[in-house]
Amino acid sequence: MSGPRKLFVKSFGCQMNVYDSHRMADTLAPEGFVETDAPEGADLVILNTCHIREKAAEKMYSELGRMRKLKQEAAHEGRKVLIAVAGCVAQAEGQEIIRRAPAVDLVVGPQSYHRLPHLVARAAGERAAGERIVDTEFPVEDKFDFLASPSREKTRARGVSAFITVQEGCDKFCTFCVVPYTRGAQVSRPVDKIIAEASRLADAGVREVTLIGQNVNAYHGEGPDGRAWTLGRLLHRVADIDGLARIRYTTSHPCDVDDSLIAAHRDLAELMPYLHLPLQSGADRILAAMNRRHTRADYLRVVDRMRAARADLALSSDFIVGFPGETEQDFRATVDVVEDIGYAGAFSFKYSPRPGTPAATMRQVPEEMKAERLHRLQAAINRQRAAFNAACQGRTLDVLLDKPGKRAGQLVGRSPYLQPVQIMAPASRVGEIVAVRITEIGSNSLFGTLASAATPGAPAAAERSAMPVLAAQGA
């Protein structure tokens, strides 16, 4: 093939998949693939899939049905379209996808997508001979060493906030979770490679980076001194990079919060005061059955230490309802802990049995009971979120302006607490951190007016002590 070819990548699931999708596109760019934002007319379609819950995996199969039709229509026009399935469903189901979905040409796992140029070339040739490819190996080479970097223009076009994968895989084996099987053992990238990537992003105009990993605070990458660095130490180093005003990290496990991470929250103005720290359940019995390796009291101790280090810290979490064996009393313990802690927001899910995980064979909670509990938990979480947002009314928050809003002349940005904030400001101000006085609280965003120019970085010291700590307010 010659000339530019169109590539459509669709990401399902977590931020790690969003990051991987960008890197797939970057790696195919030197092969002449240009990204397009619609599947119609694409020469190569990649579905970058998620396997964490059954619903997420089902989405992939329904999307594949749509892509098969596009492929057939293209064939009538004499155009050949390749369809690739990447990500965690690819890893978990491999050959099964090839069997179930005849339109798929290529299945590639999360650890081997750096081979895409070669695999796509093979699929394009081999398809004529009727062969289809599955590559779900965990190769010995580090995929990051083989991935191409995007141009400055491409990086900037993706926005002023960017993700960087610093850690992958997980060794925790929570009994409900597929990650250790689909993403493999815990691996950390070396410090110098992360710093090079973060510096490249900053040079291109990125103002905020989120360091991501399935278990990000278990980070133990090799530092320039040859020793294993903690996430706290890495955050200090990233904060030194010129141009980067904001740093975040996700997702953390409560057992891996160490002194260096708490110190980073105390010392680094660039580290946003917002921590996603999943608890999953408020009942010790269920936490043990989940193999979470900590109790509710351990979690509360971590929260206390974090809040002591940074008074304006806001928290979010993940919860699973209807885990096998969960009683009404266990469930109430979860609602209680939500009320005690005072989250700024949280994700909650019905337990979804995943093939091959220990909990899938345990005694299951009926579906209607899960749905009813989810409804109650979400009501409690929504009350917390509303109280947190309401406490922002009349305050001045630093907002990183990241894109135009829906209305003409409007820009949308993010507060330190990841709340979307809408203001009227010219498009030229995208990328700036501005002080915004919050005048109105909407259901999904906050609205405000420009206060005055803010210094790039975290909220001002006065703001830090003024932010709400919901538990203290008994919200």
The contact set with ligand SF4 (CB under 6 A) reads: 170, 172-174, 177, 179-180, 214-215, 253
Q: How far apart are CA 435 and CA 344, in angstroms?
A: 21
Task: Measure the CA angle with vertex 267, ends 262 and 269; round to 5°.
Answer: 115
Q: How far apart are CA 159 and CA 83, in angstroms?
A: 27
Please choose which of ligand SF4, ligand SAM, none residue 173 contacts, taking the beta carbon within 5 to 8 angstroms, the exact cut-off set by kind: ligand SF4
DSSP-assigned letters across all residues of 209-248: EEEE-TTGGG--PBPTTSSBPPHHHHHHHHHTSTT--EEE
Q: Which is nearer to ligand SAM, 160 or 374 (CB)?
A: 374
- Contacts with ligand SAM in 289-348 (CB under 6 A)? 318, 320
Please choose which of ligand SAM, ligand SF4, none residue 352 contacts, taking the beta carbon within 5 to 8 angstroms, the exact cut-off set by kind: ligand SAM
CA-nearest of 151, 163, 148 to 115 is: 148
CA-nearest of 168, 146, 8 to 88 is: 168
Q: Is there a contact between 211 and 164 (Cβ–Cβ < 8 Å)?
A: yes
Q: Is there a contact between 70 and 38 (Cβ–Cβ < 8 Å)?
A: no
Q: How many residues bind ligand SAM (CB under 6 A)?
A: 18
Q: If binding is defined by CB under 6 A, does position 373 make contact with ligand SAM?
A: no
Q: Which is nearer to ligand SAM, 175 or 389 (CB)?
A: 175
DSSP class of residue 328? H
- State the virtual CA torsion across 336, 443, 17, 156 in degrees, nearest 10: -140
Q: If binding is defined by CB under 6 A, does position 352 make contact with ligand SAM?
A: yes
Q: If binding is defined by CB under 6 A, does position 215 make contact with ligand SAM?
A: yes
Q: If binding is defined by CB under 6 A, does position 381 make contact with ligand SAM?
A: no
Please choose which of ligand SF4, ligand SAM, none residue 21 contacts, taking the beta carbon within 5 to 8 angstroms, the exact cut-off set by kind: none
For residue 12, what are its two tokens?
């399902």
Q: Which residue of 39, 87, 278, 405 would you call a contact of ligand SAM, by CB under 6 A?
A: 278
Please choose which of ligand SAM, ligand SF4, none residue 14 contacts, taking the beta carbon within 5 to 8 angstroms, the exact cut-off set by kind: ligand SAM
Q: Which is nearer to ligand SF4, 213 or 273 (CB)?
A: 213
Q: If binding is defined by CB under 6 A, does position 265 make contact with ligand SAM?
A: no
Q: Which is nearer to ligand SAM, 352 or 396 (CB)?
A: 352
Q: If binding is defined by CB under 6 A, does position 52 make contact with ligand SAM?
A: yes
Please choose which of ligand SAM, ligand SF4, none residue 217 contacts, taking the beta carbon within 5 to 8 angstroms, the exact cut-off set by kind: none
Q: Is there a contact between 399 and 433 (Cβ–Cβ < 8 Å)?
A: yes
Q: Is there a contact between 287 and 280 (Cβ–Cβ < 8 Å)?
A: yes
Looking from the CA of 199 toward its CB, the CA atoms found within 13 Å total: 9
Q: If binding is defined by CB under 6 A, does position 436 make contact with ligand SAM?
A: no
DSSP class of residue 175? T
First to last CA, the chain: 62
Q: How far is the CB of 353 from ligand SAM (least distance, A)?
A: 7
* Cβ burial, residue 329 (10 Å; 0-12/13-18/19+): exposed
- Contacts with ligand SAM in 236-255 (CB under 6 A)? 251, 253
Q: Which is nearer to ligand SF4, 80 or 172 (CB)?
A: 172
Q: If binding is defined by CB under 6 A, does position 280 make contact with ligand SAM?
A: yes
Stretch that binds ligand SAM, among 58-66, 117-125, 176-184, 435-443 (CB under 6 A): 176-184
Q: If binding is defined by CB under 6 A, does position 53 make contact with ligand SAM?
A: yes
Q: Which residues bind ligand SAM (CB under 6 A)?
A: 14, 52-53, 176-177, 179, 214-215, 251, 253, 278, 280, 318, 320, 349, 351-352, 354
